[in-house]
Chain A
């Protein structure tokens, strides 16, 4: 079974803090993704990566950055957390293959910024 894990299930941070969300997958997947999930807004793509050290902006990259130094790990960084970044953050991974697109999600991190 594919396993995607995230470093925390719940996180509370203060405005202005630097926040790191970590995601690790154990299936040697090339692609990794970060989404945020808000009620009524669905899953919105923040950033994704298709290889080590490669990254591409999604639909809502403002206020976020990412790091992928190793294939199995993809980090989401909030340089200066703000209250409007309170949300559920979901990481996902998938194989980079023409016939396989399924994304496997982690359990999510519920981040509250106060």
Chain B
């Protein structure tokens, strides 16, 4: 089945810096790659996603890139702010129709002001 590896497990940056989180997946049939943000004590929420027919997607300060050949995708956060501090999870749709997501182990991002 699908396996998703996520790095780094923790990331500390200064406010205003950029942050990059990387994920690799194993199943070449996967076609959907979301990123979820989980603030302390709260439920995970989708922040951005990308499908396999697109190489890059941007939404204000966040962007996701996908390299299907290498089977990896990355989350980029620019001009980080303290409210970006959270755990970020990448995921891949490992089964048909994208019904089930396989998640990475998460990255704890800390943004200090």
State the A residues within 8 Å of B (CB).
31, 33, 35, 40-45, 48, 50, 56, 58-59, 90, 94, 96, 98, 101-103, 105-108
Contacts and interface: CB of A to CB of B under 8 A. Distances in A.
Interface residues of B, number: 24
Contacts of B104: 42
Contact of B106 (A31, A42, A56, A59): A42
B1 A59 contact: yes
B40 to A, nearest CB: 12
Contact of B99 (A31, A43, A44, A108): A31
Contact of B32 (A31, A45, A101, A108): A101
Given A43-B44, A101-B34, A108-B43, A56 B97 contact: no
A50 B46 contact: no
Given A45-B101, A58-B100, A96-B97, 11 more contacts: A31-B99, A40-B9, A40-B106, A43-B44, A43-B91, A43-B103, A48-B100, A101-B34, A101-B98, A102-B46, A102-B49
